[in-house]
Amino acid sequence: MIMQKTPSLILASSSITRRALLDRLNIPYQIDKPEIDEQVQAGEQAAAACLRLAQQKAHTVALRHPQAVVIGSDQLVACGNHILGKPHSAERAFTQLRMLSGQTILFHVAVAVIDTHGRIQTSFETVTAHMRDLTDAEINHYIAQERPFDCAGSMKSEGLGVTLLESMHSCDPTAIMGLPLIATARLLRGAGINPLGTSDQILCAARSWRSPPSC
């Protein structure tokens, strides 16, 4: 049976959460950590920085794998004039969450996909979240349980982080976790990888070993 070859896929991230999200699409992929400087530049707005970093991650890994489709993604948390990245320590996590307590915060999430021809597509979304008024005891318990040191704004929303919120408004429920799957699936289709089509091809190939192809 002759089938069109699907390009290989690489996720430019070592994030366990992003891997778990991408696993939902049932597409084989590899991991390659981009190892870039993720600092926000002086005077740079959170939304612009988020989109730049997602593109930079994808470009860095695509240079090493020119025959693959590459996904890069980034997330930054903004509260007023403050831009929050990963805390990397319990002390900084506590400081971030104490500042966010009772506030309305913005989760800026960007995804970039580079295809095998070097063409890039991007998508950007902002999730608005309203934080509860948190006690110091609640913050310390959350940090001890979740250790959210690699999460922007110390918000591990796929775990106990959801209990820190009063409400959330988003077009994509996965966006707040760092990889918006609705946008990612759309960009992958544009790069020649259809999550549904890929599944059909795999199923059809498996059937072809046992009986004449019917798809």
Give the predicted TM-score (pTM) of the model. Answer: 0.83
Average confidence score pLDDT of the chain: 88
First to last CA, the chain: 10
Tally of structural domains, the chain = 1
Gap between the Cα atoms of 95 and 100, Å rounded: 9
Q: What pLDDT does 158 receive?
A: 83
Gap between the Cα atoms of 203 and 209, Å rounded: 11
CATH number of the domain enclosing 101: 3.90.950.10
- Whether residue 2 is contained in a domain is answered as no
Classified as helix, coil or strand, 114 is strand
Q: What is the pLDDT along the chain (215 residues), one digit of tens a residue?
A: 444 566 799 999 988 999 999 999 999 999 999 989 888 898 899 999 999 999 999 999 999 999 999 999 999 999 988 998 889 999 999 999 999 999 999 999 999 999 999 999 999 999 999 999 999 999 999 999 999 998 889 988 888 999 999 999 999 989 999 999 999 999 999 999 999 985 444 344 333 323 333 33
- Whether residue 126 is contained in a domain is answered as yes
Q: What is the pLDDT of residues 102-123, one digit of tens each?
A: 999 999 999 999 999 999 999 9
Catalytic residues: 74
